[in-house]
Amino acid sequence: MRDGPLRRLIKKIALLRYTIDLGITRLILRAKGEPRYRLTGSCNGCGKCCESPMIPVSTPVFRLRSLRWLALTWHRVINGFELIGEDRRLKLFAFRCTHYDPVTKQCDSYDSRPGMCRDYPRNLLYAALPEFLPECGYQAVYKKAEGLRKSLERANLPPEKLQEVLKKLHLEEKE
């Protein structure tokens, strides 16, 4: 259901807080040399990232009933995210987004989408080994790929193994 004026206002305030928080976090990470990857490609509109958005949370939010209730209520009432599952090991909540239309693959409230939707898939660049959805038009490329690729090529690996390692370590850019 499309966001009304009140929900848009609340989401605007939440977005401001999210942007400041993210900006500070990324500044600290940049000072530590992160991310080690750069983003290439573009969005092809496949809609896969909207099919079941996942949100990692802290241990207290995942385990403490009151914090968990607050977080899930916020996501349901404000963001339109309905809980459909969770991953206990990774402390992730998986949602169905009520703004997503699977037929048109469009968001009915794109202008007021949450910060996490705006940041995706840039957030993946901060993982040790970024994993993109297979349909995604974006790709992560290791910033020092060239040197590492040359070393691997000198190692005389069988061609299939070399391709597998290059792909796994994000050392190749898709055409």
Interface residues toward ligand SF4, by CB under 6 A: 43-50, 53, 97, 99-100, 107, 113, 117, 121, 133, 135-138
Q: How far is the CB of 11 from ligand SF4 (least distance, A)?
A: 9
Looking at the Cβ atoms of 113 and 170, the one nearer to ligand SF4 is: 113
Q: How far is the CB of 37 from ligand SF4 (least distance, A)?
A: 15
Looking at the Cβ atoms of 45 and 147, the one nearer to ligand SF4 is: 45
Q: How far is the CB of 50 from ligand SF4 (least distance, A)?
A: 3
Q: What is the DSSP string of 13-51?
A: HHHHHHHHHHHHHHHHHHHTT--SEEEEE------HHHH
Looking at the Cβ atoms of 96 and 149, the one nearer to ligand SF4 is: 96
Query: Which of these, 62, 173, 53, lies nearest to 118 by C-alpha position?
Result: 53
Looking at the Cβ atoms of 101 and 153, the one nearer to ligand SF4 is: 101
Handedness of CA 24, 28, 33, 37 (dihedral sign): negative
Q: How far is 58 from 1, CA to CA, in rounded Å? A: 29
